[in-house]
Structure 1
Amino acid sequence: MSKIAPSQTLTLRAARINDLDDLLQIESESFSTESYPLTSRRQFRYLLTKAKNVELFVACLDKNVVGYGLLFFRKNSFWGRLYSISVRPEYQGGAVGKQLFERAEQRIRKRKQKGMLLEIRADNQKHLKRYLGLGYQLIDTIPDYYPDGSAALKLRKEL
């Protein structure tokens, strides 16, 4: 894990089309295709240029994209869904992911949603403990959710 140097500035902003290569690289570095369905170039391009009811934002250290967050909003739902947070491996476990997560909750509040939904792998006890500690509640288990057949735990928190 790389720490953020005092001389570096971490900023968050809306993702842009010229972030596409960084988004793909972060996705491939952070997730294995055996365990997670990866977002393709085509899907990211659609999210950046045409998708409605989504927010895709990036974390930048100085001018380098080091992570992203992706939120979905359904037309007839009062809940925002955190689809993904991904951080370059050398910055995982620190301020980047935390700030992306906080931004996701802020965006849910700003849109006046009831709260946030998210899914994690059932075998990811580290994140389960973290989310429960943040006030999220386990509301469902979805069998055979991930490419390797693992179940997902669905969590939510009213904001």
Structure 2
Amino acid sequence: MSERPEDADSVILREMTAEDISAVHQLECRLFPVDAWPLQMFVDELGQSDTRHYLVAEAAGAIVGYAGLMCIQPIADVQTIAVIPEQEGKGIGSALLTALIRESRRRNAEDVLLEVRADNPRAQQLYLRFGFEQIHVRPRYYRDGVDALIMRLPLSETVPTTEAERP
């Protein structure tokens, strides 16, 4: 699988491989210094392809974003999604999220869930644009005490978000 975000001509999305884990982990530590996943977590996640799906966004041979999904029917859960600040606003996050929603549908999930930091309005707006709704708050979920907003996208009630996502 390889596709391009609409606004980022030089960016492609592809499945994450074991060879990507080191670079992804470096980005994880940079982007989420308080809550970064340990390297082994990425190794473990990639080893569960029956319930997991991980992607990277690549530009000029470098990983500039990544995303992951866990799907255990009837629920799909966005495990992680990140884009480096230098590439924000170019459609990469939207392309990653579209790919995760498409994979959720392919795996016959009924809902997609995710947690987002209460202090991250940019990410919240992305999810709202895709039709996610806030359904719960997990107080002090993150290590630094910030709440997590739990958001849900009911797949049975949504229309595909892009032409490529339509059956």
Q: TM-score, normalised by structure 1?
A: 0.84
Q: Which amino acid aligns with 1:17?
A: A
1:80 is matched with: 76
1:53 is matched with: 51
- Percent identity over paired residues: 29
Q: TM-score, normalised by structure 2?
A: 0.80
CA shift, 1:123, in A, is: 2.4
Q: Secondary structure at the match of 2:114?
A: strand
2:120 is matched with: 124
In the alignment, structure 1 segments of 5+ residues that lack a partner are none
Q: Which amino acid aligns with 1:73?
A: C
2:149 is matched with: 153
Output the aligned Cα RMSD.
Answer: 1.9
Contact 2:69 2:77 in 1 (8 A): yes
**Count of matched residue positions in the alignment of Structure 1 and Structure 2:** 149
Structural mapping, 1:57-136, within 5 Å: 57-74=55-72, 77-136=73-132
CA shift, 1:50, in A, is: 4.8
> Cα deviations across residues 104-135 of structure 1 (Å, max 9, x unaligned)?
11111111111210111122233323322322
Q: Which amino acid aligns with 1:27?
A: E
1:57 and 1:129 map into 2 onto residues whose CA distance is 21
Q: Which amino acid aligns with 1:155?
A: M
> Cα deviations across residues 70-116 of structure 1 (Å, max 9, x unaligned)?
11123xx4110001111122112322111111111111111111121
Of the three residues 30, 33, 38, the one matched with 2:36 is 38
After superposition, the Cα gap between the structure-2 partners of 1:123 and 1:45, relative to the gap in structure 1 and judged at 3 Å, is: same
Q: Secondary structure at the match of 2:89?
A: coil
1:52 and 1:109 map into 2 onto residues whose CA distance is 15
In the alignment, structure 2 segments of 5+ residues that lack a partner are 1-6, 156-167
Bigger relative contact order, structure 1 or 2 (CA pairs below 8 A, ≥6 apart):
1
2:60 and 2:106 map into 1 onto residues whose CA distance is 26
Contact 1:17 1:49 in 2 (8 A): no
Q: Secondary structure at the match of 1:102?
A: helix
Q: Which amino acid aligns with 1:115?
A: D
CA shift, 1:144, in A, is: 1.4
